[in-house]
Every structure is written in structure tokens, then in C-alpha cells.
């Protein structure tokens, strides 16, 4: 738990209608930040795995479950928790092996999207969270959709920030090495080393946060520095490569998740970064085909849109939820 305590300390210190709204240039100067409620930190033992989480707000208020992407952790939601904690209860867990959650050896825990979804589903059950809006970004989409299809009655709405459910939402150029891994398998050592050298380096992790942003110099370096420290632990590269390989099973489930959208029609707020190198705008457009109630927004930023457009997204969430009676 030494790593957990160190990271927690570091984090704490570093602080049927379709509407369209398109942000194609840098927003006007942000208004004074609304400081909602203090962020609290904790851990929950889920079947012997310590899951770290951040939470803010009153648990009796409407709940937002925030599921993070790659290569991040709940740290990506740090400002959103502060801004929305006055009117909502927000909770953001770190997946097993990510952020400040426990990293078990790959022989002790199955690092697959199925199993991580099982763990996060059990985490929510143990925390008594049975009705919520679901914020999904990147890895949060396949994990969140497994939970949503298992418990459709629990989902009040979806908030989607480059959480892809459509084949056209995969950029085949940037996904090419991983798609090759899907074909060749985890026994392709040379390919795995190539991917690891590119993606898991400090520069590679920094690129994940700065590519496509309007002002790369304004992106908080803590993001990739914390990720790099986490990814530098023995066994991390192999674990992450297993998840890259397993991602092919997410693509196979896209038709199932699209059918869930068509059948259950959760209202959806789309805040999609158009400069995301991995999940381009056609992934956002798919939601318009399958859902009747979509608030559709395309943002001029990169993969982690909250880094540049956090104030805009927080305001959109408030309005979106209020207009749908989630208050």
C-alpha cells in the first residue's frame, strides 16, 4: 500500500429532441469557478482488491458515476468533482491496476474488460449506488456499458466524452498496431515491445494529454507524471498490453451496446473532442442514430476534453440534467 499512500498524498496536494451545440474555437474567459463540495478520498475492498475512489457531494442527491479512460485514473475528474459537488453526488473509482487502486499481479487478477466491469459493478453495489447518471470516457465506455446492459433500470442518463461504441469511431491509423496485435496475439514479442516503447514512455503518455489541444502548454503535467509513475511498476506493461489485446472483445460487443441504446433510450449528453487521435467524431454521430434525446456538442480539443473545456462541460451537465428532471 506504500504506492497507494504516496499517490493519494500527491493527488490531494495537486489539487424525443436532438439539440446541437458546437464549440470550434477557444471559449471566452471562464467565469469564476464554482467550488461545490470538498473532494473526499477512500478505498473499498472488493473481493480482496482495494479500489481507490474520489467522491464529492451529498449521497442523497442525484448521483454521477465517473469512469475514467486510458492512461488515466479518477484524477481526470478532479475539477468536475469540485464544480458539481454542490448539487450532485459524484463518485469516481480507479480500476484495478490503475491510479491508486491496488495492482495485483496478472496471475492473481484477470485484467480483462469483463472482469474490471465486474469489479466496478460490485464496487457500486457495495457503496449502495443503484440509480445514477453514467459519465463514460475511453475505457469508461466498455466498462460502463457492461454495467448498463446488466442493470438498465439503474441508468438515468449517459454523459459521453469520447466513449466509443461504434466501429466508425475507431481511427484505424492510430489503432493499427493494436489491431495488428489482435491478429497476431500476445505471443508477438516484437510488436508488444514496439507498442510499449511508443505508448508507455513519458513522452508517449504526455502526448495522450496534449495532442489536439488548443494550448498544450496549459495542460497540467501532473496528469502524465502520475501515469508514468504508475506505469513504471513491474508488470504494468504486460497488464496494459493484455487490455489492449482484450479491447477486440469490446468491438465485438458494439452491436449489443447499440441495441441497448435503441431499446432503453437513455438521454445522452455528448461532449466529444473532435481532435481525439483514437476516437474521431463519427463515433459521436452514432449516438444520434440510436437515441432520440441527444444533446450533441463537438469540442475543439484533444482526448481528455476536461483539461481544456472542463467549465463548459460542467455547465452543460448541470443544464442537461436539470432539463431532464434529474435534480
Which residues carry out catalysis? 303
Helix or strand run (H / E) with residue 285: helix 282-290
Cβ 204 vs Cβ 277: under 8 Å? no
DSSP helix, strand, coil percent of the chain (3-state; round to 5): 50, 15, 35
SS3 call for 91 = strand
For 203-226, give one letter per residue: b (16+ CB within 10 A) or e. Answer: ebbbbbbbbbbeeeeebbeebbeb
The DSSP secondary-structure symbol of 137 reads -
Q: How far apart are the first and last CA of the chain?
A: 38
| Residues in Cβ contact with 227 at an 8 Å cutoff, skipping those fewer than 6 apart | 71, 72, 73, 205, 208
Amino acid at each position: 500500500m506504500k504506492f497507494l499512500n504516496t499517490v493519494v498524498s500527491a493527488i490531494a496536494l495537486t489539487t424525443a429532441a436532438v439539440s446541437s451545440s458546437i464549440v470550434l474555437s477557444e471559449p471566452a474567459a471562464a467565469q469564476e469557478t464554482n467550488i461545490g463540495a470538498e473532494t473526499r478520498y477512500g478505498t473499498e475492498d472488493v473481493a480482496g482488491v482495494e479500489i481507490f475512489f474520489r467522491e464529492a457531494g451529498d449521497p442523497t442527491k442525484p448521483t454521477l458515476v465517473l469512469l475514467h479512460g486510458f492512461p488515466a485514473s479518477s484524477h481526470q475528474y478532479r475539477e468536475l468533482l469540485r464544480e458539481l459537488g454542490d448539487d450532485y453526488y459524484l463518485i469516481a473509482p480507479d480500476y484495478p491496476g490503475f491510479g491508486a487502486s491496488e495492482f495485483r499481479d496478472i496471475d492473481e487478477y484477470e485484467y480483462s474488460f469483463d472482469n474490471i466491469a465486474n469489479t466496478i459493478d460490485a464496487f457500486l453495489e457495495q457503496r449502495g449506488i443503484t440509480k445514477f447518471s453514467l459519465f463514460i470516457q475511453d475505457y469508461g465506455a466498455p466498462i460502463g456499458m457492461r454495467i448498463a446492459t446488466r442493470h438498465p433500470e439503474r441508468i438515468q442518463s449517459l454523459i459521453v466524452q469520447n466513449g466509443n461504441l461504434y466501429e466508425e469511431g475507431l481511427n484505424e491509423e492510430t489503432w493499427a498496431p493494436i489491431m495488428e496485435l489482435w491478429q497476431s496475439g500476445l505471443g508477438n514479442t516484437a510488436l508488444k515491445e514496439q507498442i510499449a516503447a511508443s505508448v508507455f514512455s513519458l513522452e508517449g503518455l504526455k502526448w495522450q494529454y496534449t495532442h489536439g489541444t488548443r494550448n498544450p502548454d496549459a495542460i497540467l503535467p501532473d496528469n502524465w507524471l502520475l501515469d508514468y509513475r504508475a506505469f513504471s511498476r513491474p508488470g504494468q506493461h504486460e497488464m496494459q498490453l493484455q487490455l489492449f489485446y482484450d479491447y477486440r472483445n469490446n468491438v465485438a460487443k458494439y452491436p449489443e451496446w447499440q441495441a441497448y441504446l435503441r431499446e432503453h433510450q437513455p438521454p445522452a449528453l455528448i461532449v466529444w473532442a473532435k481532435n481525439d487521435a483514437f476516437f474521431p467524431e463519427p463515433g459521436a454521430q452514432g449516438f444520434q442514430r440510436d437515441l432520440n434525446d441527444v444533446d450533441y456538442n463537438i469540442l475543439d480539443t484533444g482526448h481528455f476534453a476536461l483539461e481544456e473545456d472542463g467549465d463548459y462541460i460542467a455547465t452543460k451537465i448541470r443544464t442537461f440534467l436539470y432539463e431532464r428532471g434529474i435534480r
